[in-house]
A and B are shown apart, each in its own frame.
Chain A
Amino acid sequence: MITAGIDVGSLSTDAVLMRDGDMLSQIIINTGAMARTAAERAFELALSAAGLRASDIDAVVATGYGRMNVSFADSQVTEISCHGRGSAWLSPGVRTVIDIGGQDSKAIRIDGRGNVVDFLMNDKCAAGTGRFLEVMAQRLELELGELGREDQQATGAAQISSMCTVFAESEVVSLIAQGVPRPEIIRGLHRSIAERTAGLASRLGLAPEVMMTGGVAKNPGVVRALSEKLGVKIILPPEPQIVGALGAALIAQYKAPVSPAKR
């Protein structure tokens, strides 16, 4: 059986194709302004990478905030369940998943089969999310991917008190004006995210092993700060950004196959 998982997130749209439990292809593209178009494009690219046609796919599950806009999906499952299933497939010992995406963060507790037992989600504001880092990177004149590297050069961490993205940005402006070295500001920002996320995870009840998923997991500065704050080792998947789409493709295996003519 060949299945597809499409994760339409606020910043990126990811697609994964699987055949009988083996991953065939994975794609990450920017969501942009049109979630529907992004989903179609990611699916096309994933098919192309695997050398398949849409009619070869037995079932498609959509997830992410834009899951309802994926017209070719057979069903929609929340990113909470998908990250749980994807994490357990990657590392069966995982019991806690911390997913920091573009616009929200989640702590998810799962059982040995990857079923969600409980979860907490913060989507009230951009604090502690990918968007927070994006705004700060822009202010610091860096690419998002450069933040982790800069953090490694820090000898200390600036104090960032505000959780709010707007206020934290003001703090960053003040720190720049005071001449605080950029790496120290970045480490301070990473600690601020770690502080907030650790609160969420601790409230849920942290059970080892802990895996971090979502785009922010690609930032080693945040991962280190969070690991220190929680006092646990954090497992990172080879590609943290596709775990939701991977989980969706796994869940699609349990969905009734549809007629290939449908796609």
Chain B
Amino acid sequence: MSRGNWPLDAMYEMGQFAFKEIGRAYTDKTPVVWTSAFFPVELARSLGLNPFSPEVAAAYIATLGFGEETLNMGEQAGYSRDICSFHRCIAGAASAGNLPRPAALLASAHLCDGAPLLFQNLAALYGVPMLALNTPYDSGPEAVRYVAWQMEQLWLNLAEITGQRPDRDKLAEAVCRSEEFRAQMQRVNDLRCRVPAPVSGNDMLGFVYLYFIGQGSREAAEIATALGKEIECRMTGLGRSGKAGIQAEKYRLLWMHLKPYYNDEMMKFVERSGGVLAMEEFSHIYWPPLDPNQPFLSLARKAVSHFAFKPINERVRVMAELARKYRVDGIVHFSHHGCRMASGGALMIKDALQEEGWPVLVLEGDCIDGRNEACGGMMTRMQAFLEILQERKLGCAI
């Protein structure tokens, strides 16, 4: 696809970056390491390894329309339909030999406890080591030191396993780039407070590659910088559309968790109806600035500071803060079937945020597996929710 076919120039750049890295994982001699979502990729990048996110690959597989057959392969390989479809899809693609062969698998247990278990199985399948970070459910100084110590040990182990030389300057450089990314994305998020929204959150959810796997790369920092400039340009009406912001905006939404990747019908329906994702939980910069002089401590602080890796009222507090900051009309919690971590508390979150005055829709669905869904039901829920917002906002009958 040419640049003009992408909704944002920065997204085109991100696509180029992602395809280049994924392509290299299949063709290059550089050792490939698989990393789970939320694993500090800087550790792998600083060793010159090629990181590969199978979870992002699963989203691409679903987007390209190969989800169903890949999920079937995962189920035939023994993975129950009850577990996360991202993981079933990865298992299916791995069992078919469709993913790049890893030199090691790296997983962190925080926010997703399914990934380390899957990675353990896949490490056995490939006959390679699996290195795990045990992230405690605590964000105190002792927990930070404990995670930092583990990260350092893991980094040294990984260097030995892959035959790379651990270079602390390169690690500091990777953390420096991550900090640049953090600061630039914070700027992007600040720009997004504007009404009407200068950019669609549905498009922003496409930047998942940078958040999950781009960390520590020069490209992620550059793309984030370019994205900020592009949004600024849009806000002055000098962007590609020539309009300052999304003119069709009727309802501003805060979107929690991810979206269906197998089919864009529902997200397009939201956009057609004037719904704009003013902000997404996923895009929120929750972690404090990273200090390249203290790489392990910085990355450890980031790992333990995630608001969803705390008692549920912390996730509620952060969402309420975002809802206020982005002046949203309603909140949608997309409850991905397999994600117990996110969906387990959805109803409590709904109750708490409703008490603070926001209409909340818990939209049950699946990011990868379209076989579980009746699209009509999902659309009816979404349309009914938008009708509630219309009545509240316009103070008149729908």
Whether A associates with B in a native complex is yes
Chain A contacts for B384, CB-based, 8 A? 78, 80-81, 116, 119, 121
Confirm or deny: A58 has a beta carbon within 8 angstroms of a beta carbon on chain B: no
Question: B85 to chain A: closest CB distance in Å?
Answer: 16
Q: Are A115 and B377 neighbours in the complex by a CB distance under 8 Å?
A: no
Chain A contacts for B383, CB-based, 8 A? 78
Q: How many residues of A contact B (CB 8 A)?
A: 20
How far is B142's CA from A175's CA once the two chains are assembled, in angstroms? 62
Most chain B CB within 10 A, of A78, A116, A119, A203, is at A78
**The residue from A77, A118, A119, A124 contacting B398, defined by CB atoms under 8 A apart:** A77
Confirm or deny: B388 has a beta carbon within 8 angstroms of a beta carbon on chain A: yes
How far is B387's CA from A81's CA once the two chains are assembled, in angstroms? 7
Known A-B contacts A78-B387, A123-B374; the reply to A251 vs B381 at CB < 8 A is: no
Residue-wise, chain A 76-116 has the 8 Å CB interface mask toward B (1 for contact) of 01111100010000000000000000001000000001011
Known A-B contacts A118-B354, A121-B377, A121-B380; the reply to A80 vs B387 at CB < 8 A is: yes
Chain B contacts for A118, CB-based, 8 A? 354, 359, 388
Chain A contacts for B380, CB-based, 8 A? 65, 78-80, 121, 123
Instruction: Give the number of residue pairs across the A-B interface with Cβ within 8 Å.
Output: 45
Chain A contacts for B398, CB-based, 8 A? 77, 81, 251, 254
Confirm or deny: A180 has a beta carbon within 8 angstroms of a beta carbon on chain B: no
Most chain B CB within 10 A, of A115, A121, A123, A124, is at A115
Confirm or deny: A258 has a beta carbon within 8 angstroms of a beta carbon on chain B: no
Question: B378 to chain A: closest CB distance in Å?
Answer: 9
- Chain A binding site: helix, strand, loop or mixed by DSSP? mixed
Residue-wise, chain B 359-398 has the 8 Å CB interface mask toward A (1 for contact) of 1000000000000001011001101100110010000111
Q: Are B391 and A65 neighbours in the complex by a CB distance under 8 Å?
A: no
Confirm or deny: A207 has a beta carbon within 8 angstroms of a beta carbon on chain B: no
Chain A contacts for B397, CB-based, 8 A? 85, 113, 115, 251, 254
Confirm or deny: A1 has a beta carbon within 8 angstroms of a beta carbon on chain B: no
Find the B residue at minimum CB distance from A78: B384
How far is B383's CA from A254's CA once the two chains are assembled, in angstroms? 18
Confirm or deny: A117 has a beta carbon within 8 angstroms of a beta carbon on chain B: yes
Find the A residue at minimum CB distance from B387: A81
How far is B390's CA from A251's CA once the two chains are assembled, in angstroms? 13
Question: B130 to chain A: closest CB distance in Å?
Answer: 36
Question: A112 to chain B: closest CB distance in Å?
Answer: 13
Q: How many residues of B contact A (CB 8 A)?
A: 16
Q: Are A116 and B391 neighbours in the complex by a CB distance under 8 Å?
A: yes
Find the A residue at minimum CB distance from B359: A118
Chain B contacts for A119, CB-based, 8 A? 384
Question: A56 to chain B: closest CB distance in Å?
Answer: 23
How far is B376's CA from A124's CA once the two chains are assembled, in angstroms? 11
How far is B348's CA from A203's CA once the two chains are assembled, in angstroms? 11
How far is B376's CA from A78's CA once the two chains are assembled, in angstroms? 11
Q: Are B354 and A116 neighbours in the complex by a CB distance under 8 Å?
A: no
Chain B contacts for A77, CB-based, 8 A? 387, 398
Q: Are B387 and A117 neighbours in the complex by a CB distance under 8 Å?
A: no
Question: A39 to chain B: closest CB distance in Å?
Answer: 16
How far is B347's CA from A77's CA once the two chains are assembled, in angstroms? 26
How far is B376's CA from A65's CA once the two chains are assembled, in angstroms? 7
Chain B contacts for A113, CB-based, 8 A? 397
Chain B contacts for A121, CB-based, 8 A? 377, 380-381, 384
Known A-B contacts A65-B380, A78-B380; the reply to A116 vs B396 at CB < 8 A is: no
How far is B396's CA from A251's CA once the two chains are assembled, in angstroms? 11
Question: B114 to chain A: closest CB distance in Å?
Answer: 22
Question: A123 to chain B: closest CB distance in Å?
Answer: 4
How far is B187's CA from A52's CA once the two chains are assembled, in angstroms? 61
Q: Of residues 344 to 361 in B, which have CB atoms within 8 Å of A's CB atoms? A: 347, 354, 359
How far is B384's CA from A85's CA once the two chains are assembled, in angstroms? 13
Chain B contacts for A104, CB-based, 8 A? 377
Question: A17 to chain B: closest CB distance in Å?
Answer: 19
How far is B397's CA from A85's CA once the two chains are assembled, in angstroms? 9
Apart from the given pairs A65-B380, A78-B384, 19 other A-B contacts in the complex at a CB distance below 8 Å: A78-B380, A78-B387, A80-B380, A81-B387, A85-B397, A113-B397, A116-B384, A116-B388, A116-B391, A118-B388, A121-B377, A121-B380, A123-B377, A123-B380, A124-B374, A124-B377, A251-B397, A251-B398, A254-B396
- Where the two chains meet, the residues of A that have a C-beta atom closer than 8 Å to any C-beta of B are 65, 77-81, 85, 104, 113, 115-119, 121, 123-124, 203, 251, 254
Top 9 A-B pairs, shortest CB-CB distance: A80-B384, A123-B377, A78-B384, A254-B397, A115-B391, A81-B387, A78-B383, A116-B388, A78-B380
- Can you identify 30 A-B contacts, CB atoms within 8 angstroms? A65-B376, A65-B380, A77-B398, A78-B383, A80-B380, A80-B387, A81-B384, A81-B387, A81-B398, A85-B397, A104-B377, A113-B397, A115-B388, A115-B397, A116-B384, A116-B387, A116-B391, A117-B388, A118-B359, A118-B388, A121-B377, A121-B380, A121-B384, A123-B374, A123-B377, A124-B374, A124-B377, A203-B347, A254-B396, A254-B398
